[in-house]
């Protein structure tokens, strides 16, 4: 019979570890739960880890993490013990997955792990999050660090909400346009085709094109090609983007796209500035901060540039010089970073750069939304107009044919 090593909490909240024979981990877990214990981990001895109840992946919304940090900072500042803080936070959060993660973090802290180490077992906490917590633990300013982290998450959430709000209306218009055109081509146009067949009228070029498209979309093979091709293309693109090479190519050309490229570039600069400013303000060393920022920015082009700049900084070069040579950072950003480095106020300068570019992103989003909406409406009108005209051209010929027949 296999032997399992297990960890559980009793009714008083005390952590216990032990080993026991059992048929499988489910049987052992049930036996411990029936005895009134809260099982946090069951591992088969001498084998791979079979179960870690709270090793939960996936993402949790930024607003939940922000509230978590804000409440955590308040209680730490008030002198509440770390374990007690986690116990209260577990009960206060409304997110079930976050509750389980906080419960596991509390168990690990009670067992002797540092907070940053306990958080690192869960993928929902980014390197930035863990790095800031570690800096707060070392510097004895965990409350201040958690407060800054909450502000960072709130700013990040605000930026994402603005992007989502600006894109919501255009996306809805695009979906409605697709549904309208698909409905016309697959349901209305075939009715007209039957009428045209009865009168044996010669089809103008626009009508012939529309009929060919309609027949293709309403046929089984055409529908399979469209649906399969659509889903296949999306799946292939996601697979390509999930590779390091694919992500590098995508991020490189994403910033060269008309209109959207400039916006993507500004978002990356704003995120770089805000993240680095938060880390430096919290007392994280520059080399460690640069490494954390490189992995926090979801852009391989920026990641490679930042890591190259980090290597130059380690050799004694100023921060601004390698960033300027990369060509990714505008002159204004490089100059402010250089001034901040010379005056010893780099974190403050980076904060101002982040404020400026976040305001620029907001302005660009408003202008983009204002420009896209009428263009999409005009585009929809053009497509529908083409369909209507293509259908009426043969009708005019039919009416003329009927009028000629009546005169004779």
Three-class DSSP labels, the chain = CCEEEEEEECCCCCEEEEEEECCCHHHHHHHHHHCCCEEEEEEECCCCCCECCCCCCCCCCHHHHHHHHHHHHHHHHCCCCHHHHHHHHHHHCCCHHHHHHHHHHHHHHHCCCCHHHHHCCCCCCCHHHHHHHHHHHHHCCHHHHHHHHHHHHHHHHHHHHHHHHHHHHHHHHHHHHHHHHHHHHHHHHHHHHHHHHHHCCCCCHHHHHHHHHHHHHHCHHHHHHHHHHHHHHHHHHHHHHHCHHHHHHHHHHHCCCCCHHHHHHHHHHHHHHHHHHHHHHCCCCHHHHHHHHHHHCCCHHHHHHHHHHHHHHHCCCCCHHHHHHHCCCCHHHHHHHHHHHHHCCHHHHHHHHHHHHHHHHHHHHHHHHHHHHHHHHHHHHHHHHHHHHHHHHHHHHHHHHHHHHHHC
Q: What is the mean pLDDT of the chain?
A: 81
What is the distance between the alpha carbons of residues 89 and 75, in angstroms, rounded to a whole number? 10
Q: Are 126 and 34 in contact (CB under 8 A)?
A: no
User: What's the pLDDT at 57?
Assistant: 42
Quote the pTM value. Answer: 0.64
pLDDT (tens digit, 9 = 90+) per residue, 278-312?
Answer: 888 888 888 888 888 887 777 888 888 888 888 88
- Per domain, the residue ranges of the chain are 3-44, 62-125, 144-408
What is the distance between the alpha carbons of residues 290 and 296, in angstroms, rounded to a whole number? 10
Contacts of 255 (CB under 8 A, 6+ apart): 261, 262, 264, 265, 268, 299, 301
Task: Indicate the range of 8-17, 47-56, 324-333 predicted with least confidence.
Answer: 47-56
CB atoms closer than 10 angstroms to residue 77: 14
User: What's the pLDDT at 156?
Assistant: 80
Q: Are 312 and 322 in contact (CB under 8 A)?
A: yes
User: What's the pLDDT at 50?
Assistant: 38
Highest mean pLDDT among 134-138, 198-202, 332-336, 372-376: 332-336
Structure tokens at 209: 């094109």
Confidence of residue 1 (pLDDT cuts 50, 70, 90): low
User: What's the pLDDT at 90?
Assistant: 87
Residue 53: pLDDT above 60?
no
**Distances, alpha carbon 349 to alpha carbons 305, 337, 340, in Å:** 20, 6, 6
What mean pLDDT comes out for the span 360-384? 82
User: Could you tell me which residue, 254 or 403, shows the higher pLDDT?
Assistant: 254
User: What's the pLDDT at 47?
Assistant: 47
**Distances, alpha carbon 280 to alpha carbons 145, 382, 394, in Å:** 11, 53, 71
User: What's the pLDDT at 398?
Assistant: 78
Confidence of residue 48 (pLDDT cuts 50, 70, 90): very low
Q: Are 62 and 156 in contact (CB under 8 A)?
A: yes
Contacts of 100 (CB under 8 A, 6+ apart): 53, 54, 56
* Buried residues in 84-108 as b, exposed as e (16+ CB within 10 A): ebbbebbeebebebbbbbbbbbbbb
Q: Are 72 and 116 in contact (CB under 8 A)?
A: no
Q: Are 394 and 207 in contact (CB under 8 A)?
A: yes
Give the alpha-carbon dihedral of 130, 133, 137, 140, to 10 degrees. 160
* pLDDT-above-90 percentage for the chain: 1
Structure tokens at 137: 């633990």
CATH code given to domain 144-408: 1.20.81.30
Closest to 303 in 3D by CA, of 344, 272, 338, 264? 272
What mean pLDDT comes out for the span 144-170? 81
User: What's the pLDDT at 61?
Assistant: 80
Closest to 244 in 3D by CA, of 311, 309, 295? 295
User: What's the pLDDT at 73?
Assistant: 87
Confidence of residue 45 (pLDDT cuts 50, 70, 90): low
What mean pLDDT comes out for the span 193-215? 82
Q: Are 255 and 266 in contact (CB under 8 A)?
A: no
Residue with tokens 């570019």: 357
* Buried residues in 41-63 as b, exposed as e (16+ CB within 10 A): bbbbeeeeeebebbebeeebebe
């Amino acid at each position: 019979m296999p032997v399992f090593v297990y960890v559980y909490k009793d009714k008083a909240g005390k952590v216990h570890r032990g080993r026991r024979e059992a048929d499988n981990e489910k049987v052992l877990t049930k036996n411990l739960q029936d005895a009134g214990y809260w099982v946090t981990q069951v591992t088969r001895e001498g084998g791979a880890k079979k179960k870690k109840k709270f090793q939960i992946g996936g993402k949790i919304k930024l607003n939940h993490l922000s509230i978590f940090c804000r409440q955590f900072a308040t209680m730490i500042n008030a002198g509440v013990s770390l374990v007690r803080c986690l116990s209260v936070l577990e009960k206060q959060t409304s997110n079930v997955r976050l509750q389980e993660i906080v419960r596991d973090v509390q168990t690990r802290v009670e067992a002797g792990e540092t907070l940053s180490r306990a958080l690192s077992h869960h993928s929902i906490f980014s390197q930035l999050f863990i790095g800031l917590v570690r800096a707060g633990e070392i510097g004895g300013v965990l409350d201040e660090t958690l407060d800054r982290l909450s502000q960072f998450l709130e700013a990040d959430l605000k930026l994402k909400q603005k992007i989502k709000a600006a894109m919501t209306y255009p996306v809805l218009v695009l979906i409605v346009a697709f549904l309208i055109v698909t409905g016309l081509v697959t349901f209305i146009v075939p009715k007209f085709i039957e009428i045209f067949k009865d009168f044996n009228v010669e089809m103008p070029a626009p009508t012939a094109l529309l009929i060919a498209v309609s027949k293709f979309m309403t046929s089984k093979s055409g529908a399979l090609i469209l649906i399969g091709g659509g889903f296949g293309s999306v799946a292939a693109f996601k697979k390509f983007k999930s590779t390091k090479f694919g992500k590098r190519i995508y991020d490189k050309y994403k910033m060269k796209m008309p209109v959207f490229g400039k916006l993507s570039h500004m978002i990356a600069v704003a995120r770089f500035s805000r993240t680095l400013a938060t880390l430096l303000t919290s007392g994280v060393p520059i080399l460690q901060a640069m490494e954390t920022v490189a992995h926090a920015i979801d852009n391989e082009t920026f990641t490679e540039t930042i890591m190259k700049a980090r290597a130059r900084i380690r050799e004694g070069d100023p921060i601004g010089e390698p960033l300027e040579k990369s060509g990714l950072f505008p002159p204004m950003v490089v100059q402010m970073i250089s001034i901040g480095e010379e005056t010893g106020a780099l974190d403050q300068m980076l904060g101002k750069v982040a404020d400026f570019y976040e305001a620029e992103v907001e302005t660009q989003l408003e202008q983009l939304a204002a420009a896209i909406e009428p263009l999409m409406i005009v585009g929809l009108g053009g497509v529908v107009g083409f369909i209507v005209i293509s259908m009426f051209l043969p009708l005019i010929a039919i009416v003329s044919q009927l009028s000629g027949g009546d005169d004779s």
